[in-house]
Amino acid sequence: MERAMSREDLGEDVLRELDKVSEVAAHLWERGWAERNGGNISVDLTAIADRLPTTPDAVTVTMKDLPREAGGRTLFVTGAGERLRDLRPPMRAGGIVRFDDAANGYRVLWSAGGPSGFRATSELPSHLRIHLDLSSRNGEHRAVVHCHPTDLLALSHHPRFGIDEELLTRTLWAMLPEVRVFVPSGIAIAPYALPGSSVLAELTVEGLRKADVVLWSKHGAVAMGGDVREAFDLIDVAEKGAAILLRCLSAGYDPVGLSDDQLRELERKFDL
Ligand code: 13P
Ligand code: ZN
């Protein structure tokens, strides 16, 4: 029987991505967007981890209704029920999984606590579908972050902003120039769906085809990026807009917002 892989066996490229995951997970915890086991992260490592061996004794976790294209894909994923604040090295809360060629399930290649006890996040259907959708469109994004950002989540309960993604996007763009510039495709709203469900996965993929951040109504937010830092930045900037909006509303006035002319000026300058 082969020995289980250690962290050093993962190689420099993979370790670099894992370090970024630890950094972002710490931000999510500090911001209060990852209470208890809230939030999850995945990184598609297929291009840089194809040589990682599947140990013969690795457990196979079967999954129903996996898309065929999942076969052979290798992902870093956070574990179901794990605390993101436990993603510091040695990273007990995360693991690397590979889907078998027939897409009947995945095998745990590596996790700091040993492969046998590790189970991927309950939101794996959404993470996986996003990665597959991207690679089918030759997308460059490789990392997906889901968390529970307080102010965006609060706005998802708002009777108008919570149901009208165009209104929400335009209003948050007008809160400060950064939102217009760094969340250029705006925010999509996915109506509430059961956490971990394939319905939620479908709505998320649809939302990310047109927007930078998908707000899961009454639940949280999802974004993708070239790495986890980029995905985090999108949520962070959108959340800043939400915080300013709510701060003004709770002080009892409607924010004036950037004017249409001011927004157009930004669009010209930044080629948006
Ligand atoms: P997991 O612990 O399964 O990742 O779930 C956390 C979460 O935020 C569900 O949406
Ligand atoms: Zn969640």
Q: What is the pLDDT of residues 75-122, one digit of tens each?
A: 999 999 999 999 988 888 999 999 999 999 999 999 988 778 899 999
Contacts of 217 (CB under 8 A, 6+ apart): 156, 162, 189, 190, 191, 192
Ligand 1 pocket test, pick from 21, 28, 35, 40 with the greatest ligand atom count within 8 Å of Cβ, gives 40
Q: Which ligand is nearest to the CA of 126?
A: 1
Check if 195 has its Cβ closer than 6 Å to any atom of ligand 1: yes
Check if 38 has its Cβ closer than 6 Å to any atom of ligand 1: yes
| pTM of the entire predicted model | 0.96
Phi-psi region of 160 (alpha: psi -120 to 50; beta: other; left: phi over 0): alpha
Could you identify the atom of ligand 1 that is nearest to the CA of residue 148? 8
Which residues are tagged catalytic? 123
Domain boundaries 149-269, corresponding CATH code? 3.40.225.10
pLDDT at 1: 45
Check if 35 has its Cβ closer than 6 Å to any atom of ligand 1: no
Cα separation, 240 vs 233, in Å, equals 10
Which amino acid is present at 200?
Answer: L
- DSSP string covering 123-140: THHHHHHHHHHHHHTT--
**Residues of the chain predicted below pLDDT 50:** 1
Q: Are 184 and 272 in contact (CB under 8 A)?
A: yes
pLDDT at 3: 64
Could you identify the atom of ligand 1 that is nearest to the CA of residue 78? 4
> For 10-21, b where at least 16 C-beta lie within 10 A, e where not — what string?
beeebeebbebb
Helix H or strand E encompassing 238: helix 228-250
What are the boundaries of each domain within the chain? 7-122, 149-269
Cα separation, 145 vs 231, in Å, equals 6
Cα separation, 45 vs 18, in Å, equals 10
| Protein fold of 7-122 | L-fuculose-1-phosphate Aldolase (3.40.225)
pLDDT at 214: 98
Backbone angles phi, psi at 105, to 5 degrees: 165, -170
Cα separation, 27 vs 40, in Å, equals 13
Cα separation, 66 vs 12, in Å, equals 30
pLDDT at 255: 98
pLDDT at 210: 97
The sheet with strand 74-78 has its strands ordered as: 60-62, 105-111, 94-99, 74-78, 40-44, 143-147, 220-225, 213-216, 187-190
